[in-house]
Amino acid sequence: MPPHPLLDRRSFLGHAATGLSGIALTALLAEQRLLAADKKPLRPVIQPEAPLAPRPPHFPAKAKRVLTIFCSGAVSHVDTFDYKAELIKRHGQPLPGADKLITFQGEQGNLVRPIWPFKRRGQSGKMVSELLPRLAELADEMCFIHSMTAKSNTHGPAENQMSTGFTLDGFPSVGAWVTYALGSECRDLPAFVAIPDPRGVPQIGPNNWGNAFLPAVFQGTPFTADKPIPHLNRPARLSAAADSKTREFLQRLNAEHAAARPGDSELAARIASYELAAKMQLRAAEVGDLSRESKATHELYGTGDANKIKAGFARNCLLARRLLERDVRFVQLFNGSYAMGEGVGNWDGHKTIEAQYNVHGPILDQPCAALLTDLKRTGLLKDTLVVWVTEFGRMPTFQKGASGRDHNPKGFTVWLAGAGVRRAFSYGATDEFGYQAVEKVATIYDLHATILHLLGLDHERLTFYHNGIERRLTDVHGHVLDAILT
């Protein structure tokens, strides 16, 4: 009997080749969002007994984990990363078209040039100011978005928007959405860690790392290098051996109890939660033990600096690296706090911006640059997305009667580095004075959509059903900033 024509060797190989190429093309088009996409909600399937178990992304991801560095108080873009020659040229003149302009704290005075000189950096020649000289040396690693905009000119609502996507309270943080979607690759540490500034928490405090209407297991766990998770250490009267035997006995009792009640998912979830807490109790103490790091590493970060606030922030940066290398999914690192009052503990430079920033700049600069350098040295930067943000920018003018710049949500700078983003690249622009975004205007919705995309998540489909609404991080807005992606 002659062979079937579709089963001869040549036909078989031909069909296989075209089939594989079709699959590859479909995957490529899906990743680039060029297919007629299904926009139905896509909620993760969460195991009650293991809510933080790793879950697959919607499509292949460039980043495995995220580090956000949030400078509270609104860093002035025109004094750091957004160079404006015209602002220098027209120093002391009125802002054109803005006669008697009233902003957040009142009437504006004349244009004021950058307080710190800008210089070309690296092979790219990117202009960055001398306020942050060590970060400036890493400009070739950064992808700048110079056309970011915010919806509020008030710190609290603007912080809310940067961390949750909404200016109002009551919405989950970015880190909570990410851990809800993806779970964690690390079984014995929190999936999401928030590291407040040594001086205290930012203005909206736990909103920055809260879960809101998402299950509580997805909220961030706050602790710092100098203030570890409380109640981790066993009582002094209890030996390590006795502690271990007690846990083993409890585990055996739990297993017998669960075996007598098969199919009780809530019981299984509670037992898993307690066991995870025990594992975290043991591991969290280890991850916070910075004495395991070399002397050279401590010197790189500046953990022994005479400035106690800088040394504390340096230890927090080192803690962040230790968490990331242990595959903690989302780490949120804060620089600046409202605990010490306006302008003292944060970047809110209304009245005396030069004096304030001369304090804040060195605290941020060396430790943050060391963290980025260390991530690159260890290879973590290849699959870690670093996102540096602040809640809005500052005016190119000084406030009347003051030596500082007022709030400005119309245009400011954020930058990204690491997995999936272009290096030594600038996207968008503010006008010639740095007052408002005019080229490729970007929103915080766009930033969040891009972060999710790099994690392999479709921001339009990642939802949680709450009060009759399919809620999502980007609400009904946002576009992935394709131009900044590799």
Give DSSP secondary structure letters for 66-99: EEEEEETT---GGGTT---HHHHHTTTSPPTT-T
- Dihedral sign (CA 482, 170, 332, 368): positive
Q: pTM score, two decimals?
A: 0.87
442 against 24, higher pLDDT: 442
Q: Is the pLDDT of residue 340 over 70?
A: no
- Residue 229 is predicted with a pLDDT of 72
d(CA 376, CA 378): 6
Range of weakest confidence among 77-91, 133-147, 199-213, 335-349: 335-349
35 against 285, higher pLDDT: 285
Range of weakest confidence among 379-383, 397-401, 448-452: 397-401
Q: Is the pLDDT of residue 273 over 80?
A: no
Q: Which of 243-252, 281-290, 425-434 has the highest mean pLDDT?
A: 425-434
Secondary structure string (H, E, C) spanning 179-244: HHHHCCCCCCCCCEEEECECCECCCCHHHHHCCCCCCHHHCCEECCCCCCCCCCCCCCCCCHHHHH
In contact, 112 and 402? CB cutoff 8 Å: no
Mean pLDDT over each residue of the chain, to the nearest integer: 90
